[in-house]
Structure 1
Amino acid sequence: MNLLRPPAAYARLPQSLIARACLALCASAAIPAFATELPQPLPFAQDWSNAALLSANNNWSGVPGIVGYVVSGPTTGGVDPQTVLAPATTPNVTVNQTNPVSYQTGGVAEFALTNPVVALAGSNAQHAPNIVLHLDTRGWQSVRVSYLLRDLDSSADNAVQAVALQYRIGTSGNFINLPAGYVADATTAGSATQTTPVDVVLPAAANDQAHVQVRILTTNASGNDEWVGVDDIAVAGTPIGGGVNAPIATNCPANVAFDTGVGGSFNVSASDSDSVVNGATLGAVPAGITLSSFTPATLDGGSASGTIGVAASVPAGTYPVQVNFGNNELQTANCTVSVTVSGLITIPQIQGSGATSPRDGQQVTTRGVVTRINSNGYFLQDPVGDGDPTTSDGIFVFTSSTPGGVVAVGNELRVTGTVDEFAVGSGAQALARPVTEIVNSSASLISTGNSIAPLVITLPEIEEGELERYEGMLVHIASPLTASQNYFQGRYGQVTLSADGRLEKPTNRHPANSAEALAMADDNARRRILLDDGSSIQNPDPTPYIGANNTLRAGDTLPNGVTGVIDYGLATNNSDGLSDYRIHPTEAVNFVRSNPRPATPPAVGGNVRVASFNVLNYFSTIDQSGASCFPSGTRSDCRGADSAAELTRQRDKIIPAINGLGADVVGLIEIENNGNGATQDLVNRLNAAAGAGTWAAAALPPTGSGSDAIRQAIIYKPARVALVGGSVADSNPVHNRPPIAQGFALPNGERFAVVVNHFKSKNCDPAPSGGNVDSGDGQGCYNASRVQQAQALMQFIGQLQATTGDVAVVGDLNAYGKEDPILALTNAGLVDQIARFNPFGYSYVFDGESGYLDHALTTASLSAKVTGAALWTINADEPSIIDYNLEFKQPACANCGPDYYSPTVYRSSDHDPVVLGLSLVKAINGGGNRDTLVGTAGDDRLTGGAGADTLTGGGGSDVFVYTSLRDGIDTITDFAPGTDRLDLSALLASINADAGTAIAQGMVRLVDTPAGLSVQIDSDGSMGAGVARPLVVLQGVTAAQFQPARDAGL
C-alpha cells in the first residue's frame, strides 16, 4: 500500500517497534549467516535468479529463510493438499535439473532454465513436497504473501496438480490451511507457459511474531505429476504504529560469468512492500553492458524485474555493475553484480592443425554442443567452427565415468579444464597420434535443444592420417563400408570397417617390402576405420552389432555408411598393437548380410579330396586342476577346453565341420600331443556321427611327434583310400612340430602322399634375436626360422618322392601367400593351389586384414591332377564370441554379454579348413584296332580310340573318352548312369558342336535299341543332309535312365 504521511516529515515507528527490530537484528548477527531456518525480517523476496543459492542435493544452507521438505504422507494419488497439515522434517531438493519433462523423480527440484525456478511435483515416494518460508513479522501487521505458480511441464500429461498455502506460528504443531491461497489445478496439458498468481494476507495471528512459518505444498496427483514452479516470492506488510516507509528490497546475483565473443544476459529484480518499484538504471559500465529490458511492478509489494545484457564485444575482465532501482515515492536502492568476461578458447584453437594441441597442458575455457556421451566422457563440438578444414571443431571431455548433470546430447555447455594429449597405447602409431582431450573439467549449462549436422566425409583418406582433422567431430561417412574384422566384437564392442571391400594382407598377394606390398599397406590404412560402441566396458551386454543368426560375418556391409563421432584407439588387445581412427555411432548401425554363411564347402571336383583343419587346440585332456599335459607333465601345457562342458561344446562344432568337408584324407593341426590319444578320441566321435569305420587315424611316426604340446595328425577314410607304408616325420631339429607324412593308394592303384605342417608362429614370445626379430615388413617374428623350416620341408619331400612323385603339402605354415617361407617352397617347385584357384584366398583374419596361413601346395606332377582348391569360410569370418568357450559370457559372467554359442560348424576354429580336389584316375588307352579294355576297381579313364572296342569300366566312377567320329562303334558293358560318364568334349569340338545345344540341334541322338542305348552323332544335325552314325552302345541302359547333363555333360 502507499502510506499516507504528513507533508513535512515522515512519521516514525514507536520505540517498542524499534526495540523489537533491534532485537531481531542483534539475534541475526549471533546466528550463522546461512542458517536457512532463521526467520527473515520483512520485506522478504526470492526469485531464484541467483544460481549459486543451491549447489548440492538436499542442502538449503545457501537460501536464507527457505527450506524444501518432503512429507511422508498419503500413498494414493489425488489427496487434497489442504488436508495434509503435519509438519515435515526431511529436507529435500535436487539441484541443477534442466528438463522438467524427462526428470520424473518428484519432490523439490531446482531447474536451471532460462528463467530459473524451484518447483514441486508429487510421486509415490515423494508424497507431499513443499517449501517453507521462515519469517520474522515483529513490527508488522497485515502480512501479505504473494508468489507465482508456473506450469513447467510441456508434455501431454494433464494431472490435477493442486497447490495449497498454509501457515503456523512458531516451530511446533500442525499447519493451518489458508483456503484463499488454494489453487485447484496449477497445470494444463501441453503448456510450459501457464502461470497462476497467488496473493494472500495472513490472519492477524501472524502479526508481530518472532517466527511465522508459511508453507506452499502439493501432493501426489492421480496420473503423471507435473512440475509446478514457485517463483517471484514476496512477503511484506504494514508497520505496526504506522509512519515508517519500508525500503526497496533488491534481488541480484553476486557474480555472473560470460565468454568473450559470445556474451549473454542475467536477471535482476526488486520489490517494496508499501510502494511500487517502477524504475531501474545502471551505473558506470563499459560499452556493451546494457539494461536490455525492464518490467516495473504493478502494485505495492510486487516484483519489478530487468534483464542486463552483456554483448559479445565486451573485452575480457571483471566489471562491477551497479543496478539502481527507484519507486513511486522517490526512494532508491542499488545492488552490485560482479560481471566476469573470460577469454574463451574455441575448440578449433585447442585442437590446432597438427597431431597434438598447441595448448597441451594449459587450462582453457571453451564452449560447444554435446554430440555423444560415452561411458568415460563426452564429445563437445563448436556449432560454428572456424572454417579451417585442417582444424577439428570437436573434442573429447574425459570424465572417467559416465557423465550426468548438465551433460546431455544437445546441451550447449561452457567447459573449463586442462588440455591433455592421451596416448591410447605404447606402439609407434598410438604415440604419434595422441587424442586431444579436456581433463579435470567443470561444466555449466548455456542452452538446451541444440543440434549439430554431421559433416559428410568419404573413405579412403587421400593421405593416411587425415582423419586427424575430424577428431572429436560428428561426421557421416557416406562411403559403403565392409566389416573386415569382428574378433573383438564381443570383448570390446569393436568391429574393423573398411571402404572398397574387405582388407587383404599385403604379403598375401605381394612379396614383403615390394613396392606393391607397401602400396597395398598404405591403401589398407587409408581405407580402414574402427567401429566402436563408445564404452570402456569389456564384454558389453548386449553385444553390439550382432545380426541374424547371432552373428556378424566379416564381409557384411553398411551400404549407406555410418554416422558418429571420430576419435583414435587401439584395434587390438595389445597396448603396442595396431591403432587407428574410430567412429562412435550416434545413429543405429544395421549391417547387411552380404557374406552369407556357406552351408557346404565349395566344389573342387576330382575323385579324391584332401583337406586340412586347424582344430584349435583339441585336447582330450581337460585344462583343469590336476591336469597333466605334454611336454612338461603339468597343467601349464594344457591348452584345450577348461571343463567337460566346454569339451562337449567344442566337439559339437568340430565333428560336424570335419564330417561336412566331404574329404577322404584330413590333416589335423593343433591337436593334443599325447600319442594318438586325442586323435583317436576325435576319430571315435567322428565315427559315432558318420558311421562305424568311416574314419581311421594314421599311426604315430616312429621318430615321434615333436616337443610341443600340440602336433599334427592325419585321419582318412579306409573305404576310399588305403595306407601305403607307415607315417613318417621330418626329424630335422629346425621343427618342434615336425611335418608328418603318409602315403595313400586308391582302389585303381593311383598313389599320392600328404604332408601336414605347422610352422613356427609369428608371435614374438619368446623374444627373438637375429633374423627372427620382426623387421616391420609384415611377416612378423621368426620369419627366418620359418624359411629354414620350408627349406627342410623341401628336403623331406624329396625323400618322399622316392615312393611317389605326387605329394600334397597342407597345413598352417604361419606365412601368407607371398611371404618368404612360401616363396621358398614355390621357387623350389611346389605349386600354390590356393593362389591358382582363388583370386582372394583367405583362411585367417588378423588386425582387420585377411589372408591364408593354411595352404595347399603340390608337387608339379600332382598339380596337373588338381581339379580345384578352396577354403570353407566357416570360421575366420565369424566373431569369436560364438565359439565354444564359456568364459566372458553369461551365465559364467553375469555382467557379460549373452552366450551366442550353437552346435553348428560356424566358428569351430579360428582358421578356415582347406579342401583340395584331385583327379587320380587310372588312364587305360586302346590302340587303332578292336580293343577290349577292362578298368580297375577304382576310378578309371578309358579311351578306346579308333575301331570297334569293347569297354568294361569295373568299379569306381569311370569316364569313357571319345575324341573323333572314328572312335566307334564301341560297346560299354557296365555303364552305370549317375556314376560313370561319357566325355564327348573333344569329339563335339571337332565338329563345331556346342555341348549345351547338341541334343536340341540333333547332333547327338539317344536311341533305345535291343542291345542297349545307342549314342549317335550327326555332324550336321537334324537340319542337314547327313545321317546319324552310331558311336557307342551302352548295354543294359535305356534313354529313360540316361540323363544327358549328368552322364555326358550335354
Structure 2
Amino acid sequence: MPSKSSARLAALTVAAACCAASAVVLTTPAHADTVRIHDIQGGTRTSPLAGQQVTDVTGIVTGVRAYGSSRGFWIQDPAPDADPATSEGVFVFTSSTPKGVAVGDAVTVSGTVSEYVPGGTSSGNQSLTEITRPVFTVVSSDNPLPAPTGLDARSVPAAYTAEPNGSVNALPLRPAEYALDLYESLEGMTVQVADTRVVGATDPYTELWVTVNPHEHRNQRGGTVYGSYDAQNTGRLQIQSLGQASDFPDANVGDTLAGKTTGPLDYNQFGGYTLVAGELGTLKPGNLHRESTRTQHTTELAIATYNVENLDPSDGTFAAHAAAIVNHLKSPDIVSLEEIQDNNGATDDGTVAADRTMAGLIDAIEAAGGPRYDWRSIDPADKQDGGEPGGNIRQAFLFNPARVSFTDRPGGDATTPTDVTRIRGKAALTLSPGRIDPGSEAFTNSRKPLAGEFTFRGRTVVVIANHFASKGGDQGLTSQYQPPSRGSETQRHLQAKAVHDFTAKILRTQRNAAVVALGDINDFEFSTTTELLEGENTLWSAIRSLPRPERYSYVYQGNSQALDQILISPSIRRGHHFSYDSVHINAEFHDQVSDHDPQVLRFRP
C-alpha cells in the first residue's frame, strides 16, 4: 500500500483520473446530508442510485488496490444504519493507481454510481456497485477502522440462495436466510475470517479458497465435497491479498490460515465473493500427502484415466507424469490419456502427429521404473477438436504389452467412424483404434471418442476414451441468475447419448461384453450427462462405488467434485468383482502437475 507522508496531514483533494484536466462535472448531485453509502447500496443487489451522480459521500478508507485492472480503494461508513440488508462499504474505482489516499483516511467522495458486471453482462455474473470517475478529498488521516464483520458457521445461513428461475437482482436481500444475500449485504465492507481451513489450493493467480463452515460436506482430506445441485457449499470464500504476490502462501487443501484474515469483501469474475486481505492469516500446514493406489493382482486388469493437461514435447512435466503413473497409479495395464497435444504443442502450423509426445512420456515412464508401454491413438484433423489453438489435443491409449494385447483393425482415421460387428459370436470393432461418430454435431470442435479393443487373459475388453466438451461459458454458482444456466450441457448431452448408443450396440451384439467408457467427462456423477451415458442398464459410473465424501477428481472454487469418471458395463459390475480408486495426487495441491486426479478401475474380466 502507498506510504503516508507529512503532507497528507492536511486536507487533500485528488481527481482520480488519467489526465490533469480531470475534474468531474456533477449535475443535479445527491448531497452528502441525504446520501450515505448504505443509500447507494440499497436493499437489493443493484443500487437505487445507479447512473446518478453523488457528492461528498463520507467514509473511512479500508483498503487500497494499486494493481490489476480494477484499481481503486474501498470506503466504509463508520456509522451504519439499522438495516442489515444495506452494505456500509463501497469500492471507489479510480482506473489508475490511486494517489494520495491510504488506509485510515477519512474521505469525501463525489462521482457516478455505477453497476459493473465482471466478465460482462453475457457472463450472468452479479454486478458490483462502485463509485466511478471520482473526485475525493482527504479530511483526516490515521482514523480507526470500522470493526470487521465476522464470517463463520453461525453467521452464514445454510441455505445458499433464493431460486426464482431468473434474476435475483431485484429481490430484497434477506441476509439472515440466504448465504449469497449475506455476502451481498456485506459487499465492500471489511469482513474477517479466523482459523479457516483451505478447501482450494493456491493457484497461479495468487488466490485460494477457504471455508468458514468447517463441517460442511467435509471429507477426510480437508476438502468440501460438491455432491448435488441442491446442496451448495455456503461457507466457501475466495481469498486474495492486497500485499505482494510473493508473500502469498502456497497452500494445499487441508491447510489452515491460522489467526485472522481481514479485508474488504469484493466480487469478481472468477470467484464471486472474495475477501481481499489487508491482513492475511499465517499458513499452518495440514501435511496432506499424495495418495497411491495398490498394485493390481495378477488376475486383475487395471485401467486408468488421466488428464495430463496439454502435454507436448516442450513441457517439463514428463518426469512428473511418469512418476505419477509408476509410483502412484502402480503402472496400470491400460491408461486412457486426455489432452495429449501434437508434436509442437500450441504452434499452429498444421502439425497433428503426436508420436514425439507419446515417445517422451513412454521413455520417462520406463526411466521411472515402469514398464515399456506401447500406445495407440488417432491423429485429429487440424483444428477440429477444440482445446488450445494449434495444440490438436486428443485421447491416447497406453498399454503394457506384457500384460495386455491390442487388437489392431486398420482403417481408423480422423473422419472415419468405427462400428460394431460380430466375429465368432462375439462383439468386435470394425476399426481398432477407431473414433466414434466423428462427423456428428455432438463432436463439433470437440474431442472425438477413441475406441480400442484389448485382450486380457483371453477375454476381450472394449475401452472407450472420452474427453467431453468443457463447462466453459456456464454461469457461475454466484450468478445473478438462479439456478445458474449450464449451457455447455447441451453438447455434452449429445456426446453422452452417442457413447451410450455405441455401447448399447456392443451389448446388443454380445450381452455379456466387457465395455469400459472413461475419461474427462467434464460433468458430475449426479448430472444428466452421466445419466444419459448410463442409460438403462448400459453403463454405470463406478465412482458411485466410493463413499460420497470420496467422489471427486477435481477442485474448482473450493468444491471437490467429480469430472473424471470410469463407467462399466453390466458384466463388469455384476458380482462386484471390481475396485475403484480416485487417486488424489494433483487437484488438492498448489504444485499440481495437472488439475485432474487420475482414476483407476481394477476387475477380473
**CA offsets, 1:851-901, max 9 Å, x none?**
22221122222223544211222222234xx5xxxxxxxxxxxxxxxxxxx
Shift of 1:688: 3.4
Shift of 1:655: 1.8
**Alignment CA distance shift 1:796-1:619 (3 Å):** farther
Which position in structure 2 is the counterpart of 1:474? 190
| Separation in structure 2 between the aligned mates of residue 349 and residue 603 of structure 1, nearest angstrom | 64
**Alignment CA distance shift 1:761-1:678 (3 Å):** same
Which position in structure 1 is the counterpart of 2:72? 377
Which position in structure 2 is the counterpart of 1:744? 455
Does structure 2 retain, via aligned residues, the 8 Å contact 1:667–1:714? yes
TM-score when normalising by structure 1: 0.42
Does structure 2 retain, via aligned residues, the 8 Å contact 1:837–1:868? no
**Alignment CA distance shift 1:595-1:806 (3 Å):** farther
Which position in structure 2 is the counterpart of 1:862? 572
Does structure 2 retain, via aligned residues, the 8 Å contact 1:611–1:913? yes
| Separation in structure 2 between the aligned mates of residue 700 and residue 355 of structure 1, nearest angstrom | 51
Residue 104 of structure 2 corresponds to residue 410 of structure 1: yes
SS at match of 1:372: strand
Residue 248 of structure 2 aligns with an amino acid whose one-letter code is Y
| Separation in structure 1 between the aligned mates of residue 499 and residue 227 of structure 2, nearest angstrom | 19
Shift of 1:485: 6.0
| Separation in structure 2 between the aligned mates of residue 723 and residue 111 of structure 1, nearest angstrom | 76
Residue 372 of structure 2 aligns with an amino acid whose one-letter code is W
- What are the within-5 Å matches in structure 2 for residues 466-865 of structure 1? 466-477=182-193, 480-484=196-200, 486=202, 489-491=203-205, 493-500=206-213, 509-510=227-228, 517=229, 519-520=230-231, 523-524=232-233, 526-534=234-242, 541-542=245-246, 545-547=248-250, 552-558=251-257, 562-571=261-270, 580-594=272-286, 596-601=288-293, 607-620=300-313, 646-647=314-315, 649-660=316-327, 661-662=329-330, 663-671=332-340, 672=342, 674=353, 676=355, 678-690=357-369, 694-699=371-376, 708=385, 709-723=392-406, 727-733=432-438, 734=440, 737-746=448-457, 749=458, 752-763=461-472, 776-777=485-486, 780-795=489-504, 797-798=506-507, 801=510, 805-829=513-537, 830-840=539-549, 841-863=551-573, 864=575
| Separation in structure 2 between the aligned mates of residue 776 and residue 791 of structure 1, nearest angstrom | 25
Residue 499 of structure 2 aligns with an amino acid whose one-letter code is A
**Alignment CA distance shift 1:868-1:560 (3 Å):** farther
Shift of 1:598: 0.9
Shift of 1:110: 5.3
Residue 374 of structure 2 aligns with an amino acid whose one-letter code is A
Which position in structure 2 is the counterpart of 1:388? 83
| Separation in structure 2 between the aligned mates of residue 420 and residue 913 of structure 1, nearest angstrom | 45
Residue 605 of structure 2 corresponds to residue 910 of structure 1: no
**Alignment CA distance shift 1:595-1:872 (3 Å):** farther
Does structure 2 retain, via aligned residues, the 8 Å contact 1:794–1:828? no
Residue 576 of structure 2 corresponds to residue 873 of structure 1: no
Which position in structure 2 is the counterpart of 1:223? none
Does structure 1 retain, via aligned residues, the 8 Å contact 2:115–2:130? yes
Does structure 2 retain, via aligned residues, the 8 Å contact 1:763–1:780? no
**Alignment CA distance shift 1:602-1:835 (3 Å):** farther
Which position in structure 1 is the counterpart of 2:43? 353
Q: How many residues get paired?
A: 494
The percentage of aligned residue pairs carrying the same residue is: 26
| Separation in structure 2 between the aligned mates of residue 700 and residue 419 of structure 1, nearest angstrom | 56
| Separation in structure 2 between the aligned mates of residue 675 and residue 370 of structure 1, nearest angstrom | 55
- Which one has the largest radius of gyration? 1
| Separation in structure 2 between the aligned mates of residue 593 and residue 604 of structure 1, nearest angstrom | 33
**Alignment CA distance shift 1:556-1:835 (3 Å):** farther
| Separation in structure 2 between the aligned mates of residue 811 and residue 350 of structure 1, nearest angstrom | 49
**Alignment CA distance shift 1:478-1:866 (3 Å):** same
**Alignment CA distance shift 1:757-1:408 (3 Å):** closer
Residue 369 of structure 2 aligns with an amino acid whose one-letter code is A
Does structure 2 retain, via aligned residues, the 8 Å contact 1:721–1:744? yes
Task: Give the unaligned 5+ runs of structure 1.
Answer: 1-97, 104-108, 117-340, 511-516, 572-578, 621-645, 766-773, 883-906, 921-1050
Does structure 1 retain, via aligned residues, the 8 Å contact 2:268–2:274? yes
| Separation in structure 2 between the aligned mates of residue 853 and residue 712 of structure 1, nearest angstrom | 16
| Separation in structure 2 between the aligned mates of residue 431 and residue 760 of structure 1, nearest angstrom | 22
Which position in structure 2 is the counterpart of 1:86? none
Does structure 1 retain, via aligned residues, the 8 Å contact 2:61–2:106? yes
Residue 473 of structure 1 aligns with an amino acid whose one-letter code is M
Does structure 1 retain, via aligned residues, the 8 Å contact 2:59–2:108? yes
| Separation in structure 2 between the aligned mates of residue 397 and residue 846 of structure 1, nearest angstrom | 30
**Alignment CA distance shift 1:837-1:468 (3 Å):** closer
Residue 450 of structure 1 aligns with an amino acid whose one-letter code is P
**Alignment CA distance shift 1:602-1:563 (3 Å):** farther
SS at match of 1:475: strand
Does structure 1 retain, via aligned residues, the 8 Å contact 2:466–2:518? yes
**CA offsets, 1:165-201, max 9 Å, x none?**
xxxxxxxxxxxxxxxxxxxxxxxxxxxxxxxxxxxxx
**CA offsets, 1:439-484, max 9 Å, x none?**
4222122353423221223353431323222222122235845433
Shift of 1:820: 2.7
- What are the within-5 Å matches in structure 2 for residues 238-277 of structure 1? none
SS at match of 2:73: strand
Shift of 1:604: 7.6
Shift of 1:848: 4.5
Which position in structure 1 is the counterpart of 2:164? none
Shift of 1:782: 0.9
How much is the aligned-residue C-alpha RMSD, in angstroms? 3.9
Does structure 2 retain, via aligned residues, the 8 Å contact 1:809–1:857? yes
Which position in structure 2 is the counterpart of 1:771? none
Does structure 2 retain, via aligned residues, the 8 Å contact 1:412–1:450? no
Q: Which has the higher contact order (CA 8 A, sep 6+)?
A: 2
Task: Give the unaligned 5+ runs of structure 2.
Answer: 13-30, 158-176, 343-351, 386-391, 410-431, 475-482
SS at match of 1:685: helix
Shift of 1:834: 1.0
SS at match of 2:131: strand
Shift of 1:432: 4.5
| Separation in structure 2 between the aligned mates of residue 858 and residue 871 of structure 1, nearest angstrom | 15
Residue 204 of structure 2 aligns with an amino acid whose one-letter code is G
| Separation in structure 1 between the aligned mates of residue 532 and residue 394 of structure 2, nearest angstrom | 23
TM-score when normalising by structure 2: 0.71
Does structure 2 retain, via aligned residues, the 8 Å contact 1:485–1:847? no
Which position in structure 1 is the counterpart of 2:426? none
**CA offsets, 1:496-527, max 9 Å, x none?**
444435889999745xxxxxx3x22xx33x43
Q: Which moved more, 1:659-668 or 1:497-506?
A: 497-506
Does structure 1 retain, via aligned residues, the 8 Å contact 2:519–2:565? yes
Residue 425 of structure 1 aligns with an amino acid whose one-letter code is G
Does structure 1 retain, via aligned residues, the 8 Å contact 2:242–2:278? no
Residue 128 of structure 2 corresponds to residue 434 of structure 1: yes
Shift of 1:596: 0.9
Residue 208 of structure 2 aligns with an amino acid whose one-letter code is V
| Separation in structure 1 between the aligned mates of residue 44 and residue 533 of structure 2, nearest angstrom | 46
Residue 370 of structure 1 aligns with an amino acid whose one-letter code is V
Which position in structure 1 is the counterpart of 2:181? 465
Shift of 1:430: 6.0
Which position in structure 2 is the counterpart of 1:962? none
Which position in structure 1 is the counterpart of 2:480? none
